[in-house]
Structures are given as structure tokens and as C-alpha cells.
Structure 1
């Protein structure tokens, strides 16, 4: 009897001690989880280069006239409904693409003071409104971030990222990232066609100018590859002759301006061939091109089928087609942005961009080459 009692007592003591150890272990784990900083979830990083179609606010920090940091810009931007520097009533193209690839927050402008620590792992936006492929594009906007400056900042970013996660991991993040670049439109509307006898139009005819800027674009794309980009989404030129700014100044009855439309189409033909040649040269589908011209023309030529009441009049502006001057607090402002294809004289509404992003991810070869972004993402996930 005594021996059994002694044995049971020892077992009880051992079990109590084990419970104490287990509870202590759980307590330590909980404490550590509360003390150690949480890291950003492992998602694909996203880098953005280009002009006002993709600028998330870098120009807010620059002494330039090309800015969108005043109302009514951002009137539909969630959750603040305040201007953020995006040339949109709400989200812009990088925001919507970022949401589709699973980013929990938009990429921050590189010049933002908030882009530090773990937020570097999400990626960064280097775009600047007003720039073009050529360095003389957008000189009227004074200080903007031309492509060589955007690439210089990208190199700075990579050094900062290496300091955060180490050089090997930083290279892995950059190589595995999705990169978006949008260039070319300003080289036409804010350079070649800016005035009736611009310096570039006296130097080149339209086909010659397109060939000239494509040769410069090739250097830009190859520089991106040298800097570590391995999946680059390149958007072609949109229907530049159909934006309200051109309708207001060059169109008699609201028809698209044929000369500018032809220039955009010729540029795109050369760009699509360039992408094909570069991928062949590199032995991999590094570059994916989106036919932004056709994506936009679908709702420009048949706005009602997309739920728009007009594709000619900008929601925010003044003068003919609301296409004169800038979008400001004194401009005409439509009450429902979702029924307008254009937000201001140059930029689509968030609603229009949602249709474009749908085509980027799921479009057929009519819109995407060599394949759509959903296919690319699925391929990369399986690697």
C-alpha cells in the first residue's frame, strides 16, 4: 500500500512538473511572438517605372508643374478620398495590378519617407509624371525623374534592400519581382506633337521618330534586365489621338486625331517586334507587352457596352470635351466617375483602368504577347 502510494505521488509530481514546463514553453513562445517584429508576408515584389499613368506620388516631392496632389484628384481613392499624387480619381494602373498579384498595400513612391524597413520588401514605385523615353521630353515640367534618374534610384533601393535582408536575399527579391514600365506617350503629346513645328518634328518624320525612340527604348529595357529584372510588363502607347485634350485642341467634331493615332500605332508595331527580338536574344520571355491601344479603343469606340455614357468628355476639366487645361478645384466635375472613360484630359478613370487590367491578366493574344499576365504568374509559381 505504502509503495503504491509513494509511486502515485511521484507520478503526480512528475505530471505536474511536465504541465509547468509545457505551460512555461507556451508562455515563452507567445512572449517571443509579441516581441519579435512581424515581417511582411512573402509575396512577389512589384517595381514600377514610367510616367503619369503609373506615378504613385513621386512628383509630390519635386518642384514641378506635373503634379496631382490637389483636389479633386483622389476623390474616389480609398480609404482617404484625398489626392495622393496619382493622376486618377481613385486607384491607378499599378494599384490595380498590385491588388491582382496579392500585394496587401500599394507600392510606395521611392521618394516617400515611409519607404523604409520591411516595406522595402513590397517593392517601390519610381515613376514620374511628364517623362518620356527621351530626356528632352517634358522639359516644360522642369524637374521630373527621367529614366536614368529612376534607374539610379533603383540602384539605391537595391543597396537599401541589401542592408535590410542581405545581398543574396535582395537579389532573389529583385529577380523574382514583377516590373511594370509605361513609357512613350509623352514623347508624342509632350514632345513631337506639342507644337506645330516642334524641334523633333523638324528633325524627323513620324516613322523616323518612332524608329529613333524605339532604339532608345531598347537601351532602357536592356538596362532594366542588367539591373536584375526578369519579368517586365511593358505597356504600349494608348490611342493618344482620342484623349479629350487632343479632341479639344485638334478635332473638329470629336473624332480621334488621325495623325497622332497613326503615330501611336506605328510605335506599337515597332515595340511589339522589339519585345519579340529581345526575348529571343535573351532566350526567355523576360518582357511581356500589353496592347494598351486596342484595350482602350474597345471602350472608346463602344463606351455604352462598358457602362460609360461617354468616352470623349473628361470627368474633370474645362472647355471643349473638358479637355482644356488642368483638372483643378475650379474645373467641371462629373458626379459619377464610373460612367466616364476619362478622368481628366489625358488619363482614364479608375473604372476604365479596371477593364484594362482585366485584359492584362486574362486577355488573349489580341491584347497580350507572348502571353497574358495570369499565365506568366502561374508559370512562375510552378518553378
Structure 2
């Protein structure tokens, strides 16, 4: 029998004053977004944006590549641990049927963005509009199993994570000099545009029944090994990409506040992924890392060029590297990020962190 949310939180982070839930079932969990949270949907697609070959998954419990862009667990996996649930399966997995639907589903797909033209070079990926269509399809499938009332209750009470935005910069606006979008928009206008499009996506999630949604901003795009390799001469983060992320994240928080005000409820929770990453990027040794510039797996400067493959350089100890590949954190860095999602101050989680959400929801 699964432990309750609050019992798990007490054991993991010592929050001894939260009380307990009467139910012993973990709440459902749904995941939308890009490669930071994709748990293997792209394995089932004809696309180059895949992580289904070694050394991906080298530290995963099965020691096999699963489609996660990590050496081990990714952020949704670690959140599922805290919820006391098994990891959500990719929506395209043939194993997602029957009672496993009650756990939730992961709709994320590497390479996608807020805009449908983001990631076109990866060809067949599940764009966010399609992820939302799959969410509707999921609810129809679940309804045939447990009925419409129980389905609505499960979706309303579920936790949702959505991670979008980074690819709209690195795989769209800044992908090549004078990209279509960079000719169409100045950076401030582009940021306003994608934030307005993101608002439509979040409104659609609400329309589809989501009532607790963690929304992550972009990480420090100019500091990832791929961008250091292409743009940095001295190992310093790229100023232009950092400015873009900073601009986006500030407007994202304002948009979330506006949405919550319109809805009269704290449905959407802003997770400051930029600051979460910058903590260990700025001072890696304080977090037990020897470097936050060089990827564990890759080649070229900072191991930031090309894909992580069996022929790449591979670090022997993933626990002392902040980045696994050219763009994605190691499992250990992901755990630091999730710790802030769970217990972080308002500087990291606004208007509240996940442990507060779980405590509030346990009383209702």
C-alpha cells in the first residue's frame, strides 16, 4: 500500500506539522513539455530527438536507456517519488492501460516548444497542441474504465507539471543567425508573443480540468554546455541568452499571477528554474559538483558539441557533474531542483511550494 503524500514528506524533509491524509492513494500526476521532462514518448516516434541509446540511462534502476534525457531519473520521476507513486508512463507506451491510467500520464516530447514551429528540425514530435489533445483522449479512455465522475475528480485533484520555453529560444529564435522568428520579432516582442501563447496553453489546461499546475520557467540558457561551446570564449555564460531567459521568466510570472487573479484561485504555481539552476552553476562546489560547465557526456569544448553517444567522452562519476549532456542536468542536479520545488522559498516557488500545496489539499 502506498504511503500518503504527507507521510512521505515528513519522512523525506521533516515537515512534521502538516498532518495526514485519510486516503492512502497517491494523487495522479500529469506531465507536459519538452526533453527536460520527456520520459520516453519520442522512443515511439520517427525523430532524431531521442535518448533511447546508451549511455543514456546508465544510472537508471534498470541501467538501460529509457528515453529520458538523463543518466538516471528526471524531474517527473523524482516528483513521483515524493508523491509516493510509481513514475508516470509515457502516453504512447503500450503499457499505459487499465489501472495504470489511474497513476496519470506523461505527454512530454523532446524538442517541442510553446510555438508549433519550434523544433521543426526534429520532424515527428508531439507538439504541445497535440499533447493537450492526447490529454483529452486520456480522459476519454479513463472515463470508459471508471466513469466520467471519477475521471473528473481524478483530473481535478491531480498534480500537473508543464515545462516549456527553452526550445523556443535555442531551437527557434537563436537556432541560426537571422532565423525566421528573429527577423519577424525583436527579442522583447518575441518574448511578449510566446508568453501570450503560453497563456492560451495554460488556459486550455484549466479548461481540461487541471487545478494544480507547476509551471517552470526556462533555466539559464546561456550557461548550458552546448551554448558555452558555441558562444563562449572564456567559459562565461552567454549574455544574450541569459537576457532572453530573464526577460521570459519575469513576464511568465506576471502572466501566471494575472491568470490566477482571473480564476480567483492559485491554480498555477511558478517554479523559478533559472534561479534553481544558477545556484549550482554559480557555485558548483557548494553543491558537491566539480564543474557546472563541462557535460559528463559529449565531445568538443565543454563536451557541448553534438549528441551524447556510446562514442562520446563519459565521466566516471555522474554525481560530481551538474550537466549530463549538452543541455540536460544529471540526476543529482535534478534532485537539487526538485528539493526547491518541494520546499523552496517564494524566491523559488510562487505563490507556494509543493509541500504547501500538498498540505493545503490534504485539508480539503
TM-score normalised by structure 1 residue count: 0.89
Kindly provide the CA deviation profile for residues 270-308 of structure 1, in whole angstroms up to 9, marking residues without a partner as x: 000001000000000000010000010000010000000
Kindly indicate whether residue 29 of structure 2 is the aligned counterpart of residue 43 of structure 1: no
How do residues 1-383 of structure 1 correspond to structure 2 at under 5 angstroms?
42-78=25-61, 80-103=62-85, 105-383=86-364
Higher relative contact order (CA 8 A, sep 6+): 2
SS state at 1:364 partner: coil
Distance 2:26 2:231 in 1: 46
Distance 1:196 1:116 in 2: 45
SS state at 2:25 partner: coil
SS state at 1:223 partner: helix
Distance 1:64 1:251 in 2: 29
Runs of 5+ in structure 2 lacking a partner? 1-22
SS state at 1:83 partner: coil
The equivalent of 1:15 in structure 2 is: none
Distance 1:252 1:312 in 2: 13
Deviation at 1:41, TM superposition (A): 6.4
Distance 1:131 1:369 in 2: 25
Distance 1:349 1:167 in 2: 40
Distance 1:361 1:327 in 2: 30
Distance 1:276 1:375 in 2: 18
Distance 1:218 1:377 in 2: 25
Distance 2:230 2:195 in 1: 27
Deviation at 1:68, TM superposition (A): 0.1
Distance 2:97 2:272 in 1: 35
SS state at 2:39 partner: coil
Distance 1:277 1:98 in 2: 29
Deviation at 1:101, TM superposition (A): 1.3
Distance 1:90 1:134 in 2: 29
Runs of 5+ in structure 1 lacking a partner? 1-39
Distance 1:107 1:43 in 2: 12
SS state at 2:160 partner: strand
The equivalent of 2:5 in structure 1 is: none
CA RMSD of aligned residues (A): 0.9
Kindly provide the CA deviation profile for residues 46-68 of structure 1, in whole angstroms up to 9, marking residues without a partner as x: 00000000000000000000000
Kindly provide the CA deviation profile for residues 190-244 of structure 1, in whole angstroms up to 9, marking residues without a partner as x: 0000011111111111111100000100000000000000000000110000000
Distance 2:84 2:187 in 1: 40
Distance 1:123 1:227 in 2: 14
Deviation at 1:42, TM superposition (A): 2.4
Change (3 A) 1:66 1:41: farther
Aligned length: 342
